[in-house]
Chain A
Amino acid sequence: MSAAQNYTAGKITGIIANLVIVEVDGPVSQNEICFIQSESVKLMAEVIKVNDNKAYVQVFESTRGLKPGTLVEFTGAMLEVTLGPGLLSRNYDGLQHNLNTMEGLFLKKGDYTRALDEDCIWPFKPVVKAGDVVQAGDFLGETIENQVRHRIMVPFKFEDRYTVKMVAEEGEYEAGNTIAVLTDRKNNEFDITMIQKWPVKLAVRSYREKPRPFKLLETKIRTIDTLNPIVEGGTGFIPGPFGSGKTVLQHAISKQADADVVIIAACGERANEVVEIFAEFPKLDDPRTGRKLMERTIIIANTSNMPVASREASVYTAMTIGEYYRSMGLKVLLLADSTSRWAQALREMSNRMEELPGPDGFPVDLPAIISNFYSRAGYVYLNNGETGSITFIGTVSPAGGNLKEPVTESTKKAARCFYALSQQRADSKRYPAIDPIESYSKYIEYPELQEYLAKHVSEDWVGKVMQVRNILIRGKEAAEQINILGDDGVPMDYHQILWKAEVIDFVILQQDAFDEIDRSTPMERQHYMLDKVLEVYHTDFSFESFEEVNPFFKRIINSFRQMNYAVFRSDDFNRHEKELHNIIEERKTA
């Protein structure tokens, strides 16, 4: 496929922060990777603009000490990731260099460690035979990676159809060994190993069809699953001011969600948050398999103090790895925190290149970049009829917490679930601070999902959810009225509806991410609790004066919360439930 080629070379003529201008002696392409031959190390950079014989490259490293005249070698290739068995439970930087095999306490410039070991040995079992006709993405064989069935596929780069000439027998092979030989129509032969490469900026399209997603993805977070559910292959985003709980929420989803593979892109955020994952995930059990969470997780860490230019790369690296696992028929969950940092990196660069800025100084094509990225998620039918999915949830960090800004607005057009975190809820420690009224899931309007919920949760589930929403809105209105007219200026009903909405808030919406039991609520339990709070809602209570309303409902909430803190259907749980019934009986009108 590749003939020997002479690649272009060039010399540095300008440096502004991590933007370097290179005068070149031959052709270069947009997004081509080049290496700057600085004194002792080679620094990786990417072409982001070409003007005449000048290539503008963004350097994935600090440019401190670089001098004009320094030699630059172009590679002819775009930024690519390496795909194969051995990715799971690795910690990579934004360009997929293995962080664990780097030397020393501090990151060193140009320390580009390998993503995968070619000499690592894997068991291989063929699933095709000589003479079979195959195309990109078709399974040639399989291996076992952390007990996940890892398919070895026809490389995504292979266009057209091929005939299997030879396939290796079942046995143990190095990842870099040839496990199959394919021939094209002209009888050219290609050696296939367990490792392939793919450019991160291009979507992998080796699947048959991308239908509308329809299966609930359980996150075990009540305010998401019950009120605004996300689906396998769905997209969502979490905007919120600093400290409102975006990262805590994403971490909770990454620990509890029902996924085969979880990829976390820490993009321009705090290093200590990644360290938290490093520390916790190897100890926590995967609720689905009983193995450790780390075994199904890949971390792409490009924290805020790591090179700014690799922030953008990091989310694409994560997405491409996700597409690789989806092509094997797996359920992938992809999380990025925070997509705003990536947009800011684009802004810094566009600013340095003196491009005409769009709103707030962001590049004018920001909306297109964002929607293009989100469109890579999705539920797919593979060529062999199996299914796979990438569910993507990104956080957004709007300046000043104001949602009228380009990144939030562009993302709103691209993502189908909107989980708006409210400063007010965070301030009053009502976590997770997802605003139940502002937020939405478009999926709950999909007849496909409604059907799925009716079948898997309960026949009238969607109706109940709508009712809960309605109660929350009425509760909010009642609270506003009471604020304006005073406690004794409104009818007693207002106090009741206010407090019935509060019961939903405290029992269903609020969930303690740091409590062993409360943090994870399976759908069955969510169903049970929703029925309980609706029972309270449908009960009429009698009060002599509004002064009695608050203490009464506080007791109800207290019993409910004790239930939330107890193991489902345990003695404690049952005891508090009984206590709850007794309280309800006290004021129930016949």
Chain B
Amino acid sequence: MRETKAFQKIYTRITQITKATCSLQAEDVGYEELASINGRLAQVVKIMGDHVTLQVFGGTEGIPSNAEVMFFGHPPTIKVGEDLAGRFFNAFGEPIDGGPEVEGEERETGGPSVNPVRRKQPSELITTGIAGIDLNNTIVTGQKIPFFSDPDQPYNQVMAMVALRAEADKIILGGMGLTNDDYLFYKNVFDNAGALDRIISFVNTTENPPVERLLVPDMALTAAEYFAVEKNEKVLVLLTDMTLYADALSIVSNRMDQIPSKDSMPGSLYSDLARIYEKAVQFPEGGSITIIAVTTISGGDITHAIPDNTGYITEGQLFLRRDSDIGKVIVDPFRSLSRLKQLVIGKKTREDHPQVMNAAIRLFADAANAKTKLENGFDLTHYDERTLHFAKEYSEQLLAIDVNMNVDAMLNTAWKLFERHFKPAEVSIREELVNKYWVKEH
């Protein structure tokens, strides 16, 4: 990152050091300005008179009270340009792929928001081949949606698959607390798919200090804005794992003695996360930023402050879980939701899409009730038995994430399953559609 200021004054007396912050007396410092402390990057988070508090991204281990402090005179920046494509960077935007520094226009990260009246309503379908997404939780360009997943589910694999099938002009990976293995996994998958030239990565691995992660989303999204606004490109931003990002926020706020709110998260967590996710946008000129994130949750608990605040911000969530009946990972139809699906289903997809989707989920819910009955030792009705058969086939032929087909094929499969197990009245779909799509014989 650029270090510029006409006369660089060097301070050498730090008055306070905590695990994440340093304080000193300094003059003419701007709020959110960057500084370096013995070469470590830091940012102004509080000014009281001539007393300035800095958040140190690399952590404060080993920083002496006489460390050299220099202020840069500007907030975090990134150089943007076509050259970003195909490159791997750390959280500070420095190349980690052995390549040269990127040339381009320097921009502040975490810049202003798009005026809401200048946005366009998202309406362009993103297809992934996965029925748990395309059929039940259709996503569109300009949407923001996370995977909610227990740490043991293959969320990085699913995300890489979705990214490659999504037909984006650019894929920007923001890795926060990625294990080195997962980082190399992404690199390999993108490489093998021959997609490296449209990938840009900003990566903080578990080997890097946690507070550095705080820079990653802004870096990724500022780059995304460049391609979406200047080049009218469809940009897909992958953020994994946002839970580790939120953890880093809580580290800093705790060190600054702020009163924590629920689950020791800062009271501003909602605004902090919203600032990131709201960068997702569809522009009228065709460019868009779509954000697909990962929020790991523990033991399926979505009431924890991180998934809870995320759910209140994003446009739905995709819940990954293992279906014990078929032994495969599925996108859970009950707890998953895409809120923008109604903008495209039945409009950009076949007319029967909304009703087929709802009917199948309703029947799947009936099967879940039947299963509970069975577990409680009660007899099943004939209808209950049929729902159980239906549910298994629905899981296997549609919900499993290894299924890959187009939306029409998904709809046809669903009608076939309805017909095999139920009568039209039990499915409760609008009459005209039943007349048109109910397969009489096959």
A residues near B, CB below 8 A? 13-17, 21, 62-69, 91, 99-100, 102, 104-109, 241-243, 268, 270-272, 274-276, 278-279, 301, 303-306, 308, 341, 344-345, 347-348, 351, 357, 360-361, 397, 399-402, 427-429, 483, 486-489, 514, 546-547, 550-551, 554-555, 557-558, 561-562, 565
Closest chain A residue, CB of each to CB of B32:
A64
A237 to B250 Cα, complex, angstroms: 32
Residues of A within 8 A of B66 (CB): none
Which of A242, A270, A344, A400 is within 8 Å of B278, CB to CB?
A270
Task: Report B389 CB to chain A, min CB distance, Å.
Answer: 17
List 23 interface pairs A-B (beta carbons < 8 Å), by A numbering: A16-B46, A21-B48, A64-B32, A67-B30, A68-B47, A99-B117, A109-B112, A243-B317, A243-B339, A270-B315, A271-B116, A271-B278, A272-B121, A275-B120, A276-B121, A348-B268, A400-B305, A429-B358, A487-B373, A546-B381, A550-B383, A554-B425, A558-B428
User: Is B267 an interface residue, CB under 8 A from the partner?
Assistant: yes
User: Is B417 an interface residue, CB under 8 A from the partner?
Assistant: no
A178 to B247 Cα, complex, angstroms: 59
Q: With contacts A351-B267, A550-B383, A558-B428 known, is A105 near B113, CB below 8 A?
A: no
Q: C-beta contact mask, B130-146 vs A, less than 8 Å → 1, else 0?
A: 00000000000011000
Which 6 A-B pairs rank lowest in CB-CB distance, beginning with the nearest? A400-B303, A304-B274, A305-B278, A242-B311, A486-B378, A279-B121
Instruction: Name the residue among A62, A91, A241 with the largest chain B CB count within 10 angstroms.
Output: A62
Which of B117, B270, B340 is within 8 Å of A278, CB to CB?
B117
Which of B267, B270, B315, B342 is within 8 Å of A304, CB to CB?
B270
Task: Report A503 CB to chain B, min CB distance, Å.
Answer: 13
Residues of A within 8 A of B58 (CB): none
Closest chain B residue, CB of each to CB of A307:
B113
Q: A271-B281, A397-B312 are in contact. List 4 more A-B contacts (CB 8 A).
A: A243-B316, A344-B271, A401-B303, A429-B361
The answer to whether A303 and B116 have CB atoms under 8 Å apart is yes
Residues of A within 8 A of B328 (CB): none
Task: Report A57 CB to chain B, min CB distance, Å.
Answer: 14
Q: C-beta contact mask, B414-429 vs A, less than 8 Å → 1, else 0?
A: 0000000000011010
Residues of A within 8 A of B111 (CB): 106
Residues of B within 8 A of A514 (CB): 342, 354
Q: How many residues of B contact A (CB 8 A)?
A: 76
The answer to whether A13 and B75 have CB atoms under 8 Å apart is no
The answer to whether B425 and A347 have CB atoms under 8 Å apart is no
Which of B114, B308, B425 is within 8 Å of A105, CB to CB?
B114
The answer to whether A272 and B315 have CB atoms under 8 Å apart is yes
The answer to whether B426 and A551 have CB atoms under 8 Å apart is yes
A487 to B369 Cα, complex, angstroms: 12
User: Is B198 an interface residue, CB under 8 A from the partner?
Assistant: no
B residues near A, CB below 8 A? 28-33, 45-50, 75, 111-122, 142-143, 229, 258-259, 261-262, 267-268, 270-271, 274-275, 278-279, 281, 283, 303-305, 308, 311-313, 315-317, 334-335, 337, 339-340, 342, 354, 358, 361-362, 365, 373, 376-379, 381-383, 425-426, 428, 430-431
Task: Report B191 CB to chain A, min CB distance, Å.
Answer: 34
Task: Report B309 CB to chain A, min CB distance, Å.
Answer: 8
A361 to B261 Cα, complex, angstroms: 6
A243 to B308 Cα, complex, angstroms: 11
Residues of B within 8 A of A360 (CB): 261-262
The answer to whether B113 and A429 have CB atoms under 8 Å apart is no
Which of A105, A242, A272, A357 is within 8 Å of B122, CB to CB?
A272
Residues of A within 8 A of B32 (CB): 63-65
The answer to whether A554 and B428 have CB atoms under 8 Å apart is yes
Count of chain A to chain B residue pairs whose CB atoms are closer than 8 Å in the complex: 194
The answer to whether A565 and B262 have CB atoms under 8 Å apart is no
The answer to whether A13 and B48 have CB atoms under 8 Å apart is yes
Q: With contacts A107-B112, A550-B381 known, is A91 near B117, CB below 8 A?
A: yes
Task: Report A277 CB to chain B, min CB distance, Å.
Answer: 10
Task: Report B241 CB to chain A, min CB distance, Å.
Answer: 20
The answer to whether B431 and A562 have CB atoms under 8 Å apart is yes
The answer to whether B303 and A402 have CB atoms under 8 Å apart is yes
Residues of A within 8 A of B354 (CB): 514
The answer to whether A243 and B31 have CB atoms under 8 Å apart is no
The answer to whether A400 and B262 have CB atoms under 8 Å apart is yes
Q: With contacts A105-B229, A514-B342 known, is A63 near B31, CB below 8 A?
A: yes
Residues of B within 8 A of A16 (CB): 45-48
Residues of B within 8 A of A99 (CB): 115-117
Residues of B within 8 A of A565 (CB): 430
Task: Report A244 CB to chain B, min CB distance, Å.
Answer: 10
Task: Report B142 CB to chain A, min CB distance, Å.
Answer: 7
Residues of B within 8 A of A400 (CB): 262, 303-305, 308
Task: Report B185 CB to chain A, min CB distance, Å.
Answer: 31
Task: Report A61 CB to chain B, min CB distance, Å.
Answer: 10
Residues of A within 8 A of B361 (CB): 429
The answer to whether B261 and A272 have CB atoms under 8 Å apart is no
The answer to whether B262 and A399 have CB atoms under 8 Å apart is yes
Q: With contacts A65-B75, A347-B261, A555-B425 known, is A106 near B339, CB below 8 A?
A: no
A399 to B274 Cα, complex, angstroms: 15
The answer to whether B114 and A271 have CB atoms under 8 Å apart is yes
Residues of B within 8 A of A21 (CB): 48
Residues of A within 8 A of B283 (CB): 105
The answer to whether B49 and A486 have CB atoms under 8 Å apart is no
Residues of B within 8 A of A344 (CB): 267, 270-271
Instruction: Name the residue among A105, A347, A351, A360 with the largest chain B CB count within 10 angstroms.
Output: A105
Task: Report A340 CB to chain B, min CB distance, Å.
Answer: 9
Residues of B within 8 A of A489 (CB): 378
Residues of A within 8 A of B337 (CB): 243
The answer to whether A106 and B378 have CB atoms under 8 Å apart is no
The answer to whether A272 and B119 have CB atoms under 8 Å apart is yes
Closest chain A residue, CB of each to CB of B362:
A429
Q: With contacts A361-B259, A429-B361 known, is A399 near B308, CB below 8 A?
A: yes
Closest chain B residue, CB of each to CB of A64:
B32
A99 to B381 Cα, complex, angstroms: 59
The answer to whether A106 and B49 have CB atoms under 8 Å apart is no
Task: Report B39 CB to chain A, min CB distance, Å.
Answer: 24
The answer to whether A272 and B267 have CB atoms under 8 Å apart is no
Closest chain B residue, CB of each to CB of A105:
B118
Task: Report A581 CB to chain B, min CB distance, Å.
Answer: 16
Which of A243, A301, A357, A428 is within 8 Å of B311, CB to CB?
A243
Which of B50, B143, B261, B425 is within 8 Å of A558, CB to CB?
B425
Q: With contacts A15-B31, A351-B258, A428-B365 known, is A341 near B121, CB below 8 A?
A: no
Closest chain A residue, CB of each to CB of B431:
A562
The answer to whether A65 and B33 have CB atoms under 8 Å apart is yes
Residues of B within 8 A of A66 (CB): 30-31
A399 to B361 Cα, complex, angstroms: 27
Residues of A within 8 A of B33 (CB): 65
A486 to B116 Cα, complex, angstroms: 54
Residues of B within 8 A of A271 (CB): 113-114, 116, 119, 278, 281
Closest chain A residue, CB of each to CB of B257:
A354
Q: With contacts A67-B31, A271-B116, A554-B428 known, is A399 near B383, CB below 8 A?
A: no
Instruction: Name the residue among B111, B267, B358 with the largest chain A CB count within 10 angstroms.
Output: B267
The answer to whether B426 and A361 have CB atoms under 8 Å apart is no
Task: Report A274 CB to chain B, min CB distance, Å.
Answer: 5
A344 to B49 Cα, complex, angstroms: 28
Which of A13, A272, A274 is within 8 Å of B49, CB to CB?
A13
